Amino acid sequence: MRLKDLEIFIVAPPAPGWGGRYWTFVKLTTDDGITGYGECYASTVGPQAMKAVIEDVFSRHMQGENPENIELMYRRAYSAGFTQRPDLTVMGAFSGLEIACWDILGKARNRPVWALLGGKMNQRIRSYTYLYPEPGQSHPDFWVDPDMAAEAALRFVNMGFTAVKFDPAGPYTIRGGHEPAMSDITRSVTFCKRIREAIGDRADLLFGTHGQFTTAGAIRMGQALEPYLPLWYEEPIPPDNLLEFADVARAVRIPIATGERMTTKAEFATLLRTGGAKILQPALGRLGGIWEAKKLATIAEVFNAEMAPHLYAGPVEWAANIHLATAIPNLLIAETIETGGAFHLALIKQSITWEDGFILPPDAPGLGIDFDEDLARAHPYTGTKLHLEMQEAPCDYRNGNRFEGGAPSSEM
């Protein structure tokens, strides 16, 4: 069995676009006709440039190889061009291709991927969602209104969720860490207060920031949130200064979570060694794939750290997350887009089940999904923007800041 052909789908989810502007899926086919699907989360270059990177990584390091030789192919990509260090774009391309290899291997053996990773440790996967507006409720104030957030939290908790995430502390700027505006701190505290009043102790609060603060600013914000006992304080500082996470962790009595923008176990290792984070949030379409995530989970065990796979992408990365989560002992929780996402589920023909706050691991071979290629082709991304983008304008200390979630009302 050898890897033979590659096809790439760049898909734009319809409005409201939860999961980003577009998703990058890959399809690999072996010389004996077995197909596998993967998803690349990297979006540091435009979709057409990323397509060229994926094609290069496949032809250079994987085409003609046995899909079983994942370690060998990983080391080829990781070492390419005399590097042997984390590279978001190359490893993002490899990640999706690697996930597709696992899909092929499971199908070849007629077993789900989790069975190849050590078996079913977890019968069901606890899940969380961001707070999203209801269908048709596109009011931009939703993202900055604590009462609307509290209503949404109660709605999701009544569905069965035992944790909800929200991020009222924007903005995300290209300028690196900044001190939060006092109005940002006030709004963030009010969000926690209103949501806790609405749901009581029925669910955990997950406070997101997406890395926009200085170390001192993150400590100031985090200490203000402590009375509401969030389960985690997510990515409080930019991901390029790994040693500073430990300073925040020592000063704030909320567990630090991070990892969606990191790639390979090498970057996470510094956090674990220094105590900078105890909840790891890898995006499998960027980390290096399923095998790299399994390694990371094993390393994290030694540091008494937990895994919470990140998802702001499409359903194939979600499927990969689920198989990893099924097989590891130190799982905390896994992200979903609402209860799976309407377009997400349509793309995989409803082949993953969410039930009363939990994801049920699929038992079908490979990733256990039925990818709808016709639907993917019917929704091509034709724009020029990136999957997610950060603003250039600095924090506004006079007029306040607004953030419209992952699908802003401006041009997609």
* Residue 248 in this model has a pLDDT that exceeds 90: yes
C-alpha angle 391-8-86 in degrees, rounded to nearest 5: 55
Distance CA 331, CA 324 (A): 9
pLDDT computed for residue 407 by the predictor: 56
Q: Which helix (H) or strand (E) holds 385?
A: none
More confident residue, 336 or 411: 336
Q: What is the mean pLDDT of residues 308-337?
A: 98
Per the CB < 8 A criterion, the answer to whether 1 and 31 are in contact is: yes
Tell me the whole-structure pTM to 2 decimals.
0.97
CATH level 3 topology of 115-366: TIM Barrel (3.20.20)
DSSP for 229-274 reads --SEEE--S-TT-TTHHHHHHHH-SS-EEE-TT--HHHHHHHHHHH
Over 90: is that where the pLDDT of 410 sits?
A: no
The angle at the Cα of 310, spanning 306 to 316, to the nearest 5 degrees, equals 125
- For position 17, what pLDDT does the model report? 87
Would you list the domain boundaries of the chain? 115-366
- Residue 411 pLDDT: 47
The 10s digit of each residue's pLDDT in 366-392 is 999 999 999 999 999 999 899 988 889
